[in-house]
């Protein structure tokens, strides 16, 4: 039973975190409410880096990098001379900085509410240490079980 749960957990983690990378999709935790209600604070947002700036249309949520290096996901409001004006859905004013080919990162293709909180929790040093200890204990238990079975004669049932 525990093995099945552990296997399901690792398969789900692989699907959510590793498989998207094969398709140049990254995940980012949403830390502000500027895109609510469409993208909620604490969501895990998936960014498609293959989508070029030329593919963006008004209304698309785009990811771009600010001067301070932070990643922002806001909605493209309009195009002006090959650059996009953006605004967070919950913000009253447009962003001052424009999205250009230099700071454009990709198109937001999916957001999963609250999953970002779980990701942030799992990234804590204490949680990683506990997971490592649990994995080592599980491995040791299986190893001892295998050794114990080798010492027993085969029984016909």
The verdict on whether 32 is a catalytic residue reads yes
Query: Can you give the pLDDT at residue 157?
Result: 59
What percent of the chain is modeled with pLDDT above 70? 85
d(CA 126, CA 83): 43
Which residues fall within 8 angstroms of residue 98, CB to CB, at 6 or more apart?
Answer: 80, 83, 84, 85, 86
- Average the pLDDT over 87-104 and give the result: 95
Does the pTM surpass 0.85? The reply is no
Is it the case that residue 3 has pLDDT exceeding 70?
A: no
Is it the case that residue 153 has pLDDT exceeding 60?
A: no
Cα–Cα nearest to 70, from 34, 38, 37: 34
What helix, strand, coil percent values describe the chain, rounded to 5? 40, 25, 35
Distances (CA, A) of 72 to 9, 62, 76, 87, 143: 30, 8, 12, 10, 47
Q: Which residue has the tokens 């993208």?
A: 39
What percent of the chain is modeled with pLDDT above 90? 50
Find the catalytic residue in 26, 32, 43, 111. 32
Confidence of residue 23 (pLDDT cuts 50, 70, 90): confident
């Amino acid at each position: 039973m525990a093995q099945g749960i552990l296997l399901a957990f690792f398969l789900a983690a692989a699907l959510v975190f590793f498989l998207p990378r094969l398709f140049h999709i990254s995940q980012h935790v949403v830390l502000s409410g500027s895109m609510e209600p469409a993208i909620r604070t604490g969501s895990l947002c998936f960014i498609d880096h293959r989508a070029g700036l030329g593919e963006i249309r008004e209304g698309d949520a785009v990811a771009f990098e600010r001067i301070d290096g932070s990643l922002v996901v806001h909605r493209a409001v309009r195009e002006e001379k090959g650059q996009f004006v953006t605004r967070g859905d919950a913000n009253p004013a447009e962003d001052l900085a424009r999205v250009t080919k230099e700071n454009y990162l990709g198109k937001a293709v999916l957001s999963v509410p609250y999953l970002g909180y779980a990701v942030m929790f799992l990234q804590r040093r204490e949680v990683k240490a506990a997971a490592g200890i649990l994995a080592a204990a599980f491995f040791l238990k299986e190893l001892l079980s295998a050794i114990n079975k080798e010492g027993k004669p085969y029984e016909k049932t």
